[in-house]
Structure 1
Amino acid sequence: MKKIIVAFVAVLSLLTACSKNNDIQIDSNKFGQVKIKFDHIVNSKKLVLNDYTYSNSHSEIFNVTTLKYFVTNVKFTKSNGETYTVLKEDSYFLIDAVNAHSLNPNILIPEGEYTGLEFNLGVDSLTNTLPVEKRTGVLNPATNGMYWEWNSGYIHFKIEGNSPQANNPNNSYKYHIGLFGGYSTPTVNNNRIVRIDLTKAGISKVQEHLSSDIHLMVDIGKIFDAVHPISIQKNPVVMQSGPHTFIADNYAQMFMHDHTHNFQKIVQHEN
């Protein structure tokens, strides 16, 4: 009998905990944290910089020495279709594979249950044409190596590495993808909107003083093999010429929602 009572109490406690998490009290005037975690892989392998174990559909071997891209204009959608747009000035992030802190940007949004995440991969035309003094933080053109001085525009996405198939010094390849539509002269626009459905792997439940951690797997292999097959041998360098729009189409397909951890304790890190 004692064992039955203990088991009953354990089950009751579990059901109570689940009920508490599933029946949260929402106050849209309060804000909680969302952490978006970018976990880089290449096909099914974890990305390790300088590791020479990756290949594409052309059977070309390559490594990755540099990986950077802008995530901007972040939005969240609720199940009723309501959208919360993060303040623009709080919505610029530079994801850099060598900077672990950059891989987990934090955002404050109103309490609620969110079923969708949207962001722009790149830097939009309005931001590209802001006065320089208004471009601070990761947008500072003088830092991060993500701005074309000669072309007056941000590099949305940058990947560099080496491949035996790249006919360049040190067998290097590099793809620097920019172009935002142009200012006085129209150009192509390689910004890409990424929309992620959170319902299949866990919606984001945002509560004050807690963190909802949205874990995204980012498959860098898609750069070469998503919508358009890209050969390193044929295209060792892509900037303003070459298949930059094809690569932009490909990098829009890199992101997959893996899971969400809700009601996480917020850990304060010392600077």
Structure 2
Amino acid sequence: MKNLVYKALAVLALSATFTACSNDDEVIAGTGNLGLEFDNSFAGNDLILDTQANTTASNEVLKISSIKYIVSNIVLTAEDGSIFTYPKSSSYFIVDESDATTHVLNLKDIPAANYTKVTFGIGVDKAQYEAGATGQGDFLATADAAGMMWGWSAGYKFLAFEGTFTSAQYTTAVPFRVHTGQTGTDYNYTTVSLDLNSKALVRQTITPQVHIKADLSKILNSTNVIKLSDNNPNGTGANIMGGANLPLITANIATMFTVDHVHND
């Protein structure tokens, strides 16, 4: 009986060794696809437009009617340190909370690898803007149709955050608008780098999806604290589209994204 047990254990050990060798010797080749899913929330709560009351760390209550932002210049880093830069001509997207078809960015023809980091911009980088209107390809018309342009001379809106708010000072709801982009000497483009909490296994037969949470509460309350009440001088609405607060908000935007999980399906 002991001999049978020893033989069985030996067979299991040998099987495990072959399996480990098989996994280690996997040939990773060709290209595949990958999805980046952007999921907007507010202080841990799934976002509901128009009706949901969202309380900021400054005790202002926001009802958000619209949130849109441009995601650009996507770069993937693999576990071996190699970097894949998504083609610039195809690397500009608009995430619009009101349009579910924009929430997943479908990236194609990515070299097969185990990816551990994603980097992207929020906005349109200055080099691209300086390529002129004719250098924007189809994205200029797309951004204009989405309301993400101030006009060509003023440039793109990188993030558009709108709704109404109340506070201890303003008990009747008044509108707010926060638009980032090129203003004066500040370009207000920002880059986000996120480590993945598990590897994205891009293969010919596997299309990973990286689920990225965007916490909108951090637009106003993060590295910098911005009160809408302080930007409502005549009581009819807070409009932050320039001035000293916009670079502070841009710094906040860089902190609002986290990786929730990775699907390898």
Structure 2 residue 228 is matched with structure 1 residue 225: no
* Cα deviation code 1:120-176 (max 9, x no counterpart): 111011211223233233432532111111742111111000012386x96100001
Within 5 Å, give how 1:116-155 maps onto structure 2: 116-140=117-141, 142-149=144-151, 151-155=153-157
- Alignment correspondent of 1:11: none
Other structure's SS at 2:250 match = helix
Between the aligned partners of 2:149 and 2:73, the Cα distance in structure 1 is: 18
> Could you tell me which of 184, 198, 204 is aligned with 1:208?
204
Other structure's SS at 1:210 match = coil
- Alignment correspondent of 1:195: 193
- Alignment correspondent of 2:103: 103
Within 5 Å, give how 1:7-26 maps onto structure 2: 24-26=26-28
> Which amino acid in 2 is paired with 1:173?
F
Taking structure 1 as the reference length, the TM-score comes to: 0.81
Higher deviation after alignment, 253-262 or 122-131:
122-131
- Number of aligned positions between the proteins: 241
Structure 2 residue 197 is matched with structure 1 residue 172: no
Between the aligned partners of 1:150 and 1:211, the Cα distance in structure 2 is: 37
Other structure's SS at 1:234 match = helix
Select the structure that is richer in strand: 2
> Could you tell me which of 247, 250, 261 is aligned with 2:249?
247
Other structure's SS at 2:192 match = strand
Other structure's SS at 2:145 match = coil
Unpaired runs of at least 5, structure 2: 1-15, 232-237
Q: Is the 8 A contact 1:52 1:61 kept in 2?
A: no
- Structure 1 residue 57 displacement after superposition: 1.0
Q: Is the 8 A contact 2:128 2:135 kept in 1?
A: no
- Structure 1 residue 242 displacement after superposition: 4.5
Between the aligned partners of 2:147 and 2:43, the Cα distance in structure 1 is: 27
Judged with a 3 Å threshold, the aligned counterparts in structure 2 of structure 1 residues 25 and 222 are, in CA distance, closer, same or farther, namely: same
Identity score, percent:
27
Q: Is the 8 A contact 1:33 1:209 kept in 2?
A: no
Q: Which 4+ residue blocks in structure 1 deviate beyond 6 angstroms?
A: 18-23
- Structure 1 residue 102 displacement after superposition: 0.6
Q: Is the 8 A contact 1:94 1:138 kept in 2?
A: no
Q: Is the 8 A contact 1:138 1:144 kept in 2?
A: no
Between the aligned partners of 2:190 and 2:152, the Cα distance in structure 1 is: 23
> Which amino acid in 2 is paired with 1:174?
R
Between the aligned partners of 1:128 and 1:191, the Cα distance in structure 2 is: 11
> Which amino acid in 2 is paired with 1:215?
H
- Based on CA coordinates, which of the two structures has the bigger radius of gyration? 2
Aligned alpha-carbon RMSD (Å)? 2.6
- Alignment correspondent of 1:93: 93
Between the aligned partners of 1:223 and 1:256, the Cα distance in structure 2 is: 14
Unpaired runs of at least 5, structure 1: 1-14, 181-185, 265-271
Q: Is the 8 A contact 1:226 1:250 kept in 2?
A: yes
Within 5 Å, give how 1:52-67 maps onto structure 2: 52-67=52-67
Between the aligned partners of 1:232 and 1:21, the Cα distance in structure 2 is: 55
Other structure's SS at 1:225 match = coil
Q: Is the 8 A contact 2:154 2:182 kept in 1?
A: no
> Which amino acid in 2 is paired with 1:214?
V
Between the aligned partners of 2:48 and 2:31, the Cα distance in structure 1 is: 35
